[in-house]
Amino acid sequence: MADGERRLLRSPAQVMRAARWSMQGLAACWRHESSFRLEVALFVVLAPLGLWLGQTMVERVLLVTSLLAVIAMEVINSALEAAVDRFGPERHELVGRAKDMGSAAVFVCMVNVVVTWGLLLVPRLWS
């Protein structure tokens, strides 16, 4: 465990600290990552649309969570890039590979959005 403890439950103070760190991470993404800002803007537009277009609760969940997955993966990719950049600006094959793989993970999540929305919504256009 990251905190070295084996307790199952956390105190309210520990939960609040973790939430604060999470908000700091989201704020850092917002400040430093234009891709994150774009993906959040798309979420703000598409999530209500997904809630409106989904005919069942399962469809609504799939449409919205596919968008959230992109944002989550962008946060992970940004963290990876920040950690790698910590060691300096010089180019290294493994650094490039790590950054490309992080970008690929975001891309796979974006493909998931297209597939999910397409499979759920395109058949309605043809019926």
Instruction: State yes or no: is 74 an active-site residue.
Output: yes
Q: Which of 74, 81, 90, 93 is catalytic?
A: 74
Using the CB atoms, write b or e for 87-101: b if 16+ within 10 Å.
Answer: eeeeeeeebeebeee
Pull the structure tokens for residue 123.
Answer: 């058949």
CA–CA dist 75, 25 (Å, integer) = 8
Q: What residues act catalytically?
A: 74
